[in-house]
Amino acid sequence: MKLFLLPAMLCLLLGCNINHIIDGVHGNGELKSENRTVATFTKVVVEGSMDVIATAGDSNQTLSINADSNILPIIKTEVKDGELHIYADKSYNSKNNVTITLSTAMLNGLAVEGSGDIKASNLNRDSLLIDIDGSGDIALNGKTNALRIEVNGSGDIRAKELVAGIVQIEINGSGDVYTNVTTSLNVEVNGSGDVEYTGNPTTVNQSVNGSGSVRKR
């Protein structure tokens, strides 16, 4: 019992702030925008609860972050092997969302690891790879010849405004996918996830293990 009490006693003696330990950095409510320069990237990976608004097809690459002024320093934007990783190096708590707005020449991949959201427009690539691990949502606009989607968790992908030729979807969990397909659709659902598609693909292959569904709208 004494061993369990020791950390609490030390915290009291040192004047620890329990809320700070639990919640991390508390936002000060003073919204501020910061422009950053990063290396060229073709994929965006959101690690956490940040929101990203991305525009492809712009030769002038830009990136700006809007957040509480004391939250900005802990939001990291690092490019590794052509992938832009957006994450916080400390836990934080804020009433204001952290929003990243970016533009780049081309995007061929988007990923959310956590509860963050991505809205990407003007996509125009031969192939796109979209991943969600968690509860985040991704919305897509544009066109592609081949679209590969994987959802692990409860996240949703809204791609009705992305015209795609060949679409391959895998859902593990309760996530939902909405897609617009012209040529062929291959779906695997393990769980309660649903796939809803528009368009008139010549072939539709589906494997559903659980209460999920695949339906044409």
**Rounded distance between C-alpha atoms, residue 100 and residue 77, angstroms:** 10
Whether the pTM exceeds 0.85: the reply is yes
Contacts of 22 (CB under 8 A, 6+ apart): none
Q: Which two tokens stand for residue 184?
A: 């062929």
User: What is the structure's pLDDT at 22?
Assistant: 53
Give tens-digit pLDDT for 91-139.
999 999 999 999 999 999 999 999 999 999 999 999 999 999 999 999 9
Contacts of 175 (CB under 8 A, 6+ apart): 132, 151, 152, 153, 154, 155, 156, 157, 193
**Rounded distance between C-alpha atoms, residue 53 and residue 38, angstroms:** 16
Residues of the chain with pLDDT under 70: 1-23
**Rounded distance between C-alpha atoms, residue 106 and residue 122, angstroms:** 9
DSSP string, 154-168: S-EEEEEEEEEEEEE
User: What is the structure's pLDDT at 1?
Assistant: 41
User: What is the structure's pLDDT at 19?
Assistant: 46
Amino acid type, 198: T
Q: Which two tokens stand for residue 128?
A: 């796109």
Q: Return left, alpha or beta for 160; rule: phi > 0 is left, psi -120 to 50 is alpha, else beta.
A: alpha
User: What is the structure's pLDDT at 2?
Assistant: 44
User: What is the structure's pLDDT at 18?
Assistant: 45
Residue 70 three-state SS: coil
In the chain, which residue ranges form alpha helices assigned H by DSSP? 2-14, 18-23
User: What is the structure's pLDDT at 10?
Assistant: 47
- For the chain, which domains are there? 2-216 (2.160.20.120)
Q: Which two tokens stand for residue 215?
A: 């339906």
62-68 and 31-35 beta bridge pairing: antiparallel
Backbone angles phi, psi at 16, to 5 degrees: -70, 150
**Cα 96 to Cα 42, 59, 74, 75, 100, distances in angstroms:** 28, 30, 15, 14, 13
User: What is the structure's pLDDT at 75?
Assistant: 99
Burial class (CB within 10 angstroms; exposed 0-12, middle 13-18, buried 19+) of 207: exposed
